[in-house]
Amino acid sequence: MKSRSAILAITAVGVGVVVAPAVGAGQASATPATTCTMAYLNPNVTPLPLQANSVFEASAGGNGKMTMKVRTDAVSVVGYRQHVSFTWANLDTGRNGGEQWSKRVVGPTNTVTFPGVKTGVGRITFQASVSNTSAWDARRVTTGQCGTEMKAY
């Protein structure tokens, strides 16, 4: 009888070890996020078809707060001025808001982050846009837009 109890105890511990990491891993990897991509011409070389892009990402952080990021590959060693803006609307509460940012972008790795945006809990729609002004001619402007929706918790 003693050996059967020992086998059951070892089996129970073994099952616990197998189940615990699987539950923990599922929770850690379940960060809700959504993205949309904006493509546009590099304003320094228009009308040549040299395409640049920005990716807008919204991720839920809990307590009705979200983090928004815009990552830009400027496709330019010279750089240009970029104005980023986004608006959001909570379809469940009617609340809305937005943010904007402007600076020179150059090369493939330009990121702007808006942490702790208080959207509230619910279905959130986003509209993001970029406007890019040539470093040489302020009349040369290119733009990109995208939109997405996700659930904030």
Tokens representing 16? 């616990």
Q: How many angstroms separate the Cα of 127 from the Cα of each of 33, 76, 80, 96, 148?
A: 15, 25, 22, 11, 7
Contact 50, 34 (CB under 8 A): no
**Residue 27 banded pLDDT, cuts 50, 70, 90:** very low
- Whether residue 4 is predicted with pLDDT greater than 80 in this model: the reply is no
Average pLDDT over residues 43-72: 92
pLDDT at 127 over 60: yes
Residue listed under structure tokens 């009308």: 47
Residue 76: strand, helix, or coil = coil
Q: Spell out the alpha helix ranges (H) of the chain.
A: 2-28
Bridge partners of residue 147, in order along the sequence: 127
- At CA 102, angle to CA 80 and CA 97, rounded to 5? 145
Residue 27 main-chain phi, psi, to 5 deg:
-70, -40
pLDDT tens per residue, range 70-114? 999 999 999 999 999 999 999 999 999 999 999 999 999 999 999
Query: What is the structure's pLDDT at 32?
Result: 77
Distance between CA atoms of residues 4 and 38, nearest Å: 64
pTM as predicted: 0.77
Side chain identity at residue 86, one-letter code: F
At residue 68 the predicted structure's pLDDT band, cuts being 50, 70 and 90, is very high
pLDDT of residue 49: 85
Question: What stretches of the chain adopt beta strand conformation (E)?
Answer: 33-41, 51-62, 65-73, 80-90, 96-105, 110-118, 122-133, 141-152
Mean pLDDT in residue range 42-64: 91
pLDDT at 31: 62
Tally the residues of the chain.
153
